[in-house]
């Protein structure tokens, strides 16, 4: 049975804790206590230690909580500033202030990612806006008329050039109300049906009309209608072609005058070649009769003068033939055919009665599309000239084809006296010869005819020559 009640034990412990006794004294006092009291004291000691430990833990947790609160306050201030910066960036983009940049720190957090993204977006928007402004500047500066209409013909977009022609009431109006003011009746390209066909088929339509402008005068327009790729609409681009029409009219007048002049020249050449040939023949025949009938009474000077008269009459006769041939040169499509140049050259050589001391060598030639009579004239003039002026006993003339920078080139080459470079251009001028008239039977028109024929086919002729070593005439057909 315990000597002290629990209440007494507790009171005793309280008194002992407040008595200032040391451990030894307390131990001696405790020896007289009952076992129950000792057990109770031990339990309280353990509970006290647990309370102290819990107090330390709570104190540590409280300090940690204070640290976290401070970190949270720093993070909150940082986030507030970064969010303010981002909001300012968004406001700048909304007002198209592309020079504003959101700051990016060394920390890699969601704010840095957002700021980086906004900066990139700003740069892209800036580039797009600059491009749009650039295109808008081009659009407003165009001298061509530009209209954008939908598939019903309603005008949605115009530029200043269009408004200068049709007025300021284009927007949201029907294109037909303006185009039907045309002085011509062909405006089917602007019907709703045709506009829908253009959009559906993706085709481009070009036409010309004459429209009345804001001043009440008619203006010729060259128009192109193109479908839009992004929406159901048609882009109409028109150009004022008044100056071009004037130039075309002037050109037509010049062509008419040229054709009329050519007709007159051809008629003159025909009349001259026919009407003048008769008296020339008569002069030549009379001179020959005088020489035959008065041969016994004519002295040498008289015979020489009559010979000269006959020779001059015959040369004049040849001049007239050459002039007529030159006037008749022209490319008639009906005469074009496949011409084997080998046959042409062979027939020309046979017709020329080549002297015994001259050798004409012909290489393989192609077949060309041309008038056969023109090819005969070209080779006949070039080969006959080469033979005529040969000054060597072993004369050589070579006809062939080669290739160069200008494509396929034909050539007629000889080993004759050659031609000085100073006369390369002169020989192609009509009636020009390199020898005196009395020393040459040439009319000076052969090479001129060749040049005109070749230029009619889009070709050309040129010469390479060296005095004493011969000449080579090159020519192309196109």
Return the biggest CA–CA distance within the chain: 205
Domains and CATH numbers, the chain: 1-33 (no CATH), 37-139 (no CATH), 142-240 (3.30.450.20), 247-325 (1.10.287), 334-475 (3.30.565.10)
- Which tokens sit at 144? 């061509």
Residue 327 CB-half CA count within 13 A: 20
Residue 88's pLDDT is what? 67
* Residue 223, helix vs strand vs coil: strand
Residue 351's pLDDT is what? 82
Low-confidence ranges of the chain (pLDDT < 70): 1-38, 41, 76, 78-80, 82-119, 121-141, 177-189, 229-231, 265-266, 268-275, 315, 318-334, 430-444
Query: How distant, in Å, are the alpha carbons of 10, 121, 127, 131, 417 from that of 124?
Result: 83, 5, 5, 11, 78
Residue 115's pLDDT is what? 64
Answer left, alpha or beta for residue 20, where phi above 0 means left and psi between -120 and 50 means alpha.
left
Query: How distant, in Å, are the alpha carbons of 61, 197, 279, 300, 323 from that of 283?
Result: 145, 78, 6, 20, 20
Structure letter (DSSP) for residue 219:
E
**What is the rounded distance in angstroms from the CA atom of residue 416 to the CA atom of residue 387?**
8
Query: How distant, in Å, are the alpha carbons of 50, 58, 65 from that of 62?
Result: 18, 6, 5
CB under 8 Å to 141, separation ≥6 — which residues? none
Query: How distant, in Å, are the alpha carbons of 72, 108, 113 from that of 80?
Result: 12, 17, 16
Residue found under tokens 């005196």: 436
**What is the rounded distance in angstroms from the CA atom of residue 182 to the CA atom of residue 173?**
17
**CA 466 to chain centroid:** 45
**What is the rounded distance in angstroms from the CA atom of residue 416 to the CA atom of residue 397?**
9
**What is the rounded distance in angstroms from the CA atom of residue 128 to the CA atom of residue 101?**
17
**What is the rounded distance in angstroms from the CA atom of residue 14 to the CA atom of residue 184?**
126
pLDDT digits (tens, 9 = 90+) for 430-456: 545 545 444 445 556 788 888 888 988
The residues facing 471 across adjacent strands are 414, 465
* Residue 397, helix vs strand vs coil: strand
Q: In this structure, are residues 400 and 365 in contact, taking their beta carbons and an 8 Å threshold?
A: yes
**What is the rounded distance in angstroms from the CA atom of residue 420 to the CA atom of residue 439?**
19
pLDDT digits (tens, 9 = 90+) for 240-287: 888 888 888 899 888 888 888 777 766 766 666 666 777 777 888 888
Q: Give the β-pairing of 461-466 and 407-414.
A: unpaired
- Which tokens sit at 179? 């185009």
C-alpha angle with apex 234: 230 to 240, nearest 5 degrees? 135
Residue 19's pLDDT is what? 55
**What is the rounded distance in angstroms from the CA atom of residue 257 to the CA atom of residue 263?**
10
């Amino acid at each position: 049975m315990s000597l002290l009640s629990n209440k007494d034990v507790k009171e005793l412990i309280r008194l002992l804790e407040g008595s200032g006794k040391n451990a030894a004294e307390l131990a001696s006092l405790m020896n007289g206590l009952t076992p129950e009291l000792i057990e109770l004291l031990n339990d309280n000691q353990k509970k006290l230690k647990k309370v102290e430990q819990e107090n330390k833990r709570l104190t540590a947790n409280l300090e940690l909580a204070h640290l976290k609160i401070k970190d949270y306050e720093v993070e909150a201030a940082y986030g507030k500033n970064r969010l303010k910066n981002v909001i300012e960036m968004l406001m700048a983009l909304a007002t198209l202030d592309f020079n504003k940049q959101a700051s990016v720190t060394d920390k890699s957090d969601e704010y840095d990612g957002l700021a980086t993204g906004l900066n990139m977006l700003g740069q892209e928007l800036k580039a797009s806006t600059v491009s749009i402004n650039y295109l808008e500047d081009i659009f407003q500066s165009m001298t061509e008329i530009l209209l954008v209409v939908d598939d019903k013909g309603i005008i949605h977009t115009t530029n200043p050039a269009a408004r200068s022609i049709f007025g300021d009431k284009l927007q949201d109006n029907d294109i037909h109300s303006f185009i039907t003011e045309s002085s011509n009746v062909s405006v089917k390209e602007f019907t709703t049906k045709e506009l829908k066909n253009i959009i559906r088929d993706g085709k481009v339509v070009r036409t010309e009309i004459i429209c009345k402008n804001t001043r009440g005068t008619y203006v010729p327009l060259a128009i192109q209608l193109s479908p839009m790729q992004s929406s159901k609409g048609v882009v109409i681009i028109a150009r004022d072609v008044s100056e071009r029409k004037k130039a075309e009219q002037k050109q037509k007048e010049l062509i008419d005058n040229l054709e009329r002049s050519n007709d007159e020249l051809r008629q003159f050449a025909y009349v001259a070649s026919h009407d003048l040939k008769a008296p020339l023949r008569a002069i030549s025949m009379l001179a020959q009769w005088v020489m035959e009938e008065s041969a016994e009474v004519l002295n040498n000077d008289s015979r020489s003068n009559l010979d000269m008269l006959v020779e001059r009459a015959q040369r004049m006769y040849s001049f007239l033939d050459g002039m007529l041939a030159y006037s008749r040169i022209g490319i008639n499509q009906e005469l074009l055919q496949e011409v084997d140049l080998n046959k042409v050259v062979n027939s020309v050589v046979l017709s020329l009665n080549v002297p015994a001391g001259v050798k004409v060598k012909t290489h393989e030639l192609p077949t060309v599309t041309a008038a056969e009579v023109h090819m005969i004239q070209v080779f006949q003039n070039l080969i006959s000239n080469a033979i005529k002026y040969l000054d060597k006993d072993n004369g050589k003339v070579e006809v062939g084809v080669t290739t160069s920078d200008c494509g396929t080139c034909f050539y007629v080459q000889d080993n004759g006296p050659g031609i000085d470079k100073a006369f390369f251009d002169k020989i192609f001028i009509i009636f020009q010869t390199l020898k005196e008239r009395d020393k040459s039977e040439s009319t000076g028109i052969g090479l001129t005819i060749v040049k005109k024929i070749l230029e009619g086919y889009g070709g050309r002729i040129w010469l390479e020559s060296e005095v004493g070593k011969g000449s080579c005439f090159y020519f192309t057909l196109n």
